[in-house]
Amino acid sequence: MLIRHPAAILAAILGYFSPIFSQGQNSSLFVCPNGWELRGLHCYKFFSIRHSWEKAAELCRRYGSDLEVVESFAENNYTAGLVTRSAGPADRNGQHYWLGLASLDDLRTNTLESAAGLLVSQYAGFWDQTQPDPRSGECVDVTLMDNQQSWELTTCESLLPFLCRTAACPAGSYHCSNGRCVNAQFRCDNQNDCGDWSDELDCPSSCHYYMASSGDVVESPNYPHKYQPLADCKWTLEGPQGHNILLQFQEFETEKSFDTVQILVGGRTEDKSVNLATLSGKQDLSNKLFVSASNFMIVKFSTDASVERKGFRASWKTEPQTCGGILRATPQPQSLTSPGYPQDYPGGLECLYIIGAQVGRIVTLEIEDLDLETNRDYILIRNGDNPKGQPIARLTGTREDNPHLIMSTGSQLYMYFKTSLGDSRRGFRIKYLQGLYLRNIYAFKFLSYFITLAYLVSHTNRCCMYGVW
């Protein structure tokens, strides 16, 4: 008997799949991308790298997924077990990680919004006893203790691990990078079946290569001999999570302005990436590094119908992201610089520095050099050692647009550096020390601030150093 009524069809489908929802069992009917865990109709992956809520949501979208939104008691228990298995032994108690929910209108409407833009009632959550408290922040993080987890609101700037979820695909499907599912037979047919060309990602016959490792070599076709006309080649490079990709050319020669190499960073597909550089002509690039702050890089090579050259050869490798850290201020000034300074910093960075002094002393920063993309890239400085501390300054643009001296009112200072994907600048060079430091006559324009400071800190904090030239 054929079922024709739409409601009957839906009921039949839900009835067929209800054991999968209720029992949460894996099924041979569905598959997940490599490295993801299948549960019911969804695939899950825990990322131990630490990012802000916004950055974590962005990284999930690069994999065709969203930050996890727990929809049931069973799913809450399952995700607790998944994170427990994925985290290291030292992190299994007291582990915090992001969920894909944030408060809306300070919960005046009792509503949360998911990273995917869906509205959810706050009463659907598994909250800690004193939560949700909008005074604590806007984004939902999970505390895991003894295989049990509870939710709380905290500041979205916190750097935490995160959990991504995407829909599983039927067996025999190809899982696109945007989360769609297409018939596996459609791969490498020179058609954009996925909508983001990810089904044409690894197709050597079309000069499209996917390289997932910690390093390799990229060469133009026929190198070191002339490449062919009308070439359209692409290499998608993927390194381990939490690593940068560094690309360096040993030789580069193409027809100037007509045959180009484009370097994109950010995601696995072009629609999730931004242009880092476009190269053409004969260039000596042996001393220049092209750096992606994510674990993805795309190299595209396009040629016209005439005038072929030798082409190019480049090698790439990965390095762990190492920016940020805990620094100890002393009475003698020390220098802190952005990654790669004085060369351009990578895009997509999140670096957290905690600068501490002796108890009873303050921390002073002197901005010696600052060149950031205005508003898109910035340094946020707070009192204390966590993102809930009182903001002191937000630096962006050039040194001339910002204060030159910044001081804490306690013995610790929190410094968060964030860069966008896209245009990068020189970065920063900042001198930090314990106590108060005045150098040169320009510092006296901050005199009113120093007078105010005297009322904010104890006598033991007023340890001053003066330098006059």
C-alpha 405/C-alpha 228 separation (Å) is 57
State the Cα–Cα distance between residues 278 and 234, nearest whole angstrom: 14
Residue 367 has which token pair?
A: 């901005």
Report the distance separating Cα 64 and Cα 47, nearest Å: 14
- Decide if domain 325-438 falls under CATH 3.40.50.970: no
Chain region(s) in the chain for CATH 2.60.120.290: 207-320, 325-438
Tokens 């510092």 belong to 443
SS3 429: strand
User: 227, exposed or middle or buried, with CB in 10 Å at 0-12, 13-18, 19+?
Assistant: buried
φ/ψ (deg, to 5) at 455: -85, -15
What pLDDT does 25 receive? 52
Enter the CATH code of domain 30-167.
3.10.100.10
Q: How far is CA 96 from CA 49, 61, 369, in A?
A: 12, 21, 36
**Structure confidence by residue, pLDDT tens digits, 195-223:** 999 999 999 999 999 999 999 999 999 99
- Contact, 144 vs 94, CB < 8 A? yes
Amino acid at 43: C
User: Residue 201: helix, strand or coil by DSSP?
Assistant: coil
Q: What percent of the chain has pLDDT over 70?
A: 86
Q: Could you tell me where in the chain the CATH 3.10.100.10 domains are found?
A: 30-167
pTM of the predicted structure, to 2 decimals? 0.84
pLDDT class of 14 with cuts at 50, 70, 90? very low
* CATH class of the 207-320 domain in this structure: mainly beta
How far apart (Å, rounded) are the C-alpha atoms in residues 428 and 235?
33
Q: How far is residue 101's CA from residue 464's CA, in Å, rounded to a whole number?
A: 46
Banded pLDDT at 469 (limits 50, 70, 90): very low
